[in-house]
Structure 1
């Protein structure tokens, strides 16, 4: 007997059924053919001055905007992204350069067919950028958080969506301004072949992501002082906004479906409104302070019709679960990593999710897992670090099972992280 689908009738705020259908169709169109799985890798870089390791801002002389302007000749002029008269993004085949709120430079690389291809594509970016960076007297570093500057010292870049996000996240949770201005991550995306395959991968990624985060931790500093948390990135996101972060609600219910994921996203109050691609709005733009972000949902904002691709991506992009579903699966657990370690992480993800035998074995171990189990594993890692026993197994066990033995040997301890001037 087939279990009934999870109903979202219990939700206090009802999503528009047409909006739900449009998201489900978007997920369906993202299905890849079996055996063709690839990777997308996003690495965010922190710009810091060579002189004192403080953050380089977007608008300062010889800052982040100037770097982008000098990189323009290497990229497709038809894929430049501007905010008014400010350059905020570049792209060409295989790589896109964008900005996070505090001027962090994100390289989005893929679709990769082999993890090692990441080294060449990112290497080309760095070969082009390094001479320019030398002239501008700053560099790009890979840590989970700015090594010396406080978030309060870093202004937002001019993208309007970030001003609106700042207005919202500055009033809710604990770490919104810190995350926006001073943090940096590595994210790995994988394909799925069906609804069942997507949900299974989301469950597995949500379960093992925090463990991999420990093995690949890379945040020695927080707000100019030694980082006080075993997993700083997890700490920030788990305390950011309970409505849109952490473990996806209901993910481990056996009846969970794409429809339920869509309903959860659509029932969450929007952080801000983007009506730039809503024909009925006739040129309306992003709304910040005047927008009732704390209780307005997509059903209140968008017309009673199926959403277009831009609207769908906007709604999904302001939801930040540990593992996020778009027309691919995005795992978001990890600090910004040097490229060699990012490639190693991508290879481990490949082994765990695209090797049928290994994946089946892991899924068998996690049979019967609940969301509460994942929350408990995250909590014990945060409390005990390397002495933790997530899911009742020591970290040496997980190093072997997840294939990170070599990676573990290379993880820098507190004394091995490069020194950064703190005064």
Structure 2
């Protein structure tokens, strides 16, 4: 989840036109200015017993605060809220604290996947060093493999208190989303409104395929859960107001203004004033703009309030001043680099983007919704117009591979970005996703012991 920005935009919002202009300001007609922002979350566990870390720690064991302090000792800058260390920043990147103690690395906007993968690898090497010192491990999965919801420690961040109270009113699995899931995502630029719409449609249409390829959450409370991606299923009953496949994006009317209208119609969670979060759950941003917000009567919102509100929407693709691709489970090291390669290959090359558009042009919003419903359980066996996702994956990866080749962004060793797709090619060709591999091992060499996942798959 997003955290507050370092600087606050205090401009008052007095018209919808301002909100549309803000979205429009993300357009970057010069492709050389396009950047890649990668993000990933991971669980932290004690190596002795595989239990979770509380914030404070205790009984001689470290807590989440100690982990953050260890990153600060490695040169990261501390961020506090109400006296609690809750995040750290360095070189345009940030480490933020999720509701159940998950750690998220939000990377800096970078030019190539070589750079984003180097950034991720540097961070994970630091995490491994800290893990050796504190006797903890870091695990990339889409859903926690063993913990019950009530056993997850709660982190001291004020916005999460409001969300924990409100979410059960809107769906049965919102608390699971907050406390027991991890994801990997990539943030991408667009040239114009028309380019944004094309990228948004491709992202929504192919997001179920990304979910299938990155599926990595087949366990719940120590047993198989019947899904390839339980994380993806959790989102289907989290909050219908702010989740889903957004069928209006496929309408001719899709535009920055149409997206602004959608965001305005999503009920609020909170208003932030300094480090204080004011509960505005269920209230209307439109009322806020009219000075009629019950939580702050007579007060008008600022642009910072609008930015905060946008972070509380959780669709499969989310628009801010860039596009976020949000459909993948957290996973192994190679998949953290593969996710940006998948989407950059499709969306940062003109030929590849057109190829992706041609591929999905016969798909309806209902088709996309059906794939979204099917993929958490079916994975690569999901179908679209009679084709299973294994076949579709090969076609889409061919397009992405061509896009990465055309980009010709070379590493210091003269390699293109195409190699970052290798783990996805393997899944497409074998039908084995990370979830399938976990289940195969659980039923084989692990002898049914789900705790083996911590030893086998930690970073």
Fold shared, TM-score > 0.5 on shorter chain: yes
| Contact 2:68 2:85 (8 Å CA) reproduced | yes
Whole-angstrom distance in 2 between the partners of 1:350 and 1:421: 35
Q: What residue number does 2:339 align with?
A: 345
Q: What residue number does 2:159 align with?
A: 161
**Of 139-148 and 221-230, the range deviating more from structure 2:** 221-230
Alignment map for 1:16-415 (pairs within 5 Å): 18-36=14-32, 37-61=34-58, 62-77=62-77, 80-270=78-268, 272-276=269-273, 285-288=276-279, 291=280, 293-294=281-282, 296-302=283-289, 307-382=301-376, 384-403=378-397, 404-408=424-428, 409=430, 411-412=433-434, 413=436, 414-415=439-440
The alpha-carbon deviation at position 342 of structure 1 amounts to 1.5
SS of the equivalent of 1:59 reads coil
Quick one: structure 1 residues 19 and 221, their matched pair in 2 at CA, closer, same or farther if it must change by over 3 Å? farther
**Of 20-29 and 196-205, the range deviating more from structure 2:** 20-29
The alpha-carbon deviation at position 76 of structure 1 amounts to 5.0
SS of the equivalent of 1:43 reads strand
Whole-angstrom distance in 2 between the partners of 1:233 and 1:88: 24
Whole-angstrom distance in 2 between the partners of 1:155 and 1:124: 28
**Of 307-316 and 258-267, the range deviating more from structure 2:** 307-316
| Contact 1:70 1:132 (8 Å CA) reproduced | yes
| Contact 2:38 2:187 (8 Å CA) reproduced | yes
**Of 320-329 and 22-31, the range deviating more from structure 2:** 22-31
Whole-angstrom distance in 1 between the partners of 2:15 and 2:247: 19
Identify unmatched segments of 5+ residues in structure 1.
1-15, 278-282
The alpha-carbon deviation at position 149 of structure 1 amounts to 1.1
Provide Cα deviations, 1:3-23, integer angstroms capped at 9, x if missing partner: xxxxxxxxxxxxx99452222
Q: Aligned residues, how many?
A: 395
- CA-atom RMSD, angstroms? 2.4
The alpha-carbon deviation at position 330 of structure 1 amounts to 0.2
SS of the equivalent of 1:152 reads helix
| Contact 1:146 1:222 (8 Å CA) reproduced | yes
Whole-angstrom distance in 2 between the partners of 1:31 and 1:339: 31
Match 1:421 to one of 451, 455, 459:
451
Whole-angstrom distance in 2 between the partners of 1:98 and 1:402: 33
The alpha-carbon deviation at position 55 of structure 1 amounts to 2.0
SS of the equivalent of 2:249 reads coil
The alpha-carbon deviation at position 210 of structure 1 amounts to 0.9
Whole-angstrom distance in 1 between the partners of 2:157 and 2:379: 37
Quick one: structure 1 residues 339 and 385, their matched pair in 2 at CA, closer, same or farther if it must change by over 3 Å? closer
The alpha-carbon deviation at position 167 of structure 1 amounts to 0.5
| Contact 1:63 1:136 (8 Å CA) reproduced | no
Whole-angstrom distance in 2 between the partners of 1:83 and 1:220: 35
| Contact 1:143 1:220 (8 Å CA) reproduced | no
Whole-angstrom distance in 2 between the partners of 1:27 and 1:71: 34
Provide Cα deviations, 1:43-80, integer angstroms capped at 9, x if missing partner: 10100111222222222231111110122133454xx3
SS of the equivalent of 1:90 reads strand
Quick one: structure 1 residues 66 and 325, their matched pair in 2 at CA, closer, same or farther if it must change by over 3 Å? same
TM-score, normalising length: structure 1: 0.87
The alpha-carbon deviation at position 95 of structure 1 amounts to 1.8
The alpha-carbon deviation at position 231 of structure 1 amounts to 2.6
TM-score, normalising length: structure 2: 0.80
Whole-angstrom distance in 2 between the partners of 1:39 and 1:391: 32
The alpha-carbon deviation at position 138 of structure 1 amounts to 1.1
| Contact 2:183 2:330 (8 Å CA) reproduced | yes
| Contact 2:141 2:329 (8 Å CA) reproduced | yes
The alpha-carbon deviation at position 392 of structure 1 amounts to 3.2
The alpha-carbon deviation at position 189 of structure 1 amounts to 1.0
Whole-angstrom distance in 2 between the partners of 1:183 and 1:381: 17
Identify unmatched segments of 5+ residues in structure 2.
1-11, 292-298, 398-423, 453-459
| Contact 2:113 2:341 (8 Å CA) reproduced | yes
SS of the equivalent of 1:189 reads strand
Whole-angstrom distance in 1 between the partners of 2:191 and 2:301: 23
